[in-house]
Amino acid sequence: MIAGSHGSTPAAWTLVVLIVLGVIVSTVALVLGSWLGFWIGVVVVALGAIAGGVLKVAGFGKPRSHTDAH
């Protein structure tokens, strides 16, 4: 592991922001009793995971070092 590297990449930030927003939407929707809002939040979480993966593959993630491969 590279010292001082915390995964601060566009792919990581996109993943985290969308997942946090999805969880917030789902939580608020459950408190308000809205199942539609809950499922919208779940979709946002899934889209966050997909977007993070796509951005990583597109080169916006942390490059793999040769020592990471097993």
Q: What is the mean pLDDT of residues 11-27?
A: 96
20-35 pLDDT, tens per residue? 999 999 999 999 999 9
32-63 pLDDT, tens per residue? 999 999 999 999 999 999 999 999 999 888 87
pLDDT band at 1, cuts 50/70/90? very low
Q: How many helices (H) and strands (E) does the chain have?
A: 2, 0
Which residues contact residue 15 at a Cβ distance below 8 angstroms, ignoring those fewer than 6 apart?
A: 48, 49, 51, 52, 53, 55
Q: How far apart are CA 10 and CA 58, in angstroms?
A: 11
pLDDT of residue 36: 98
pTM over 0.85: no
> The tokens of 38 are what?
């809950």
> The tokens of 16 are what?
């985290």
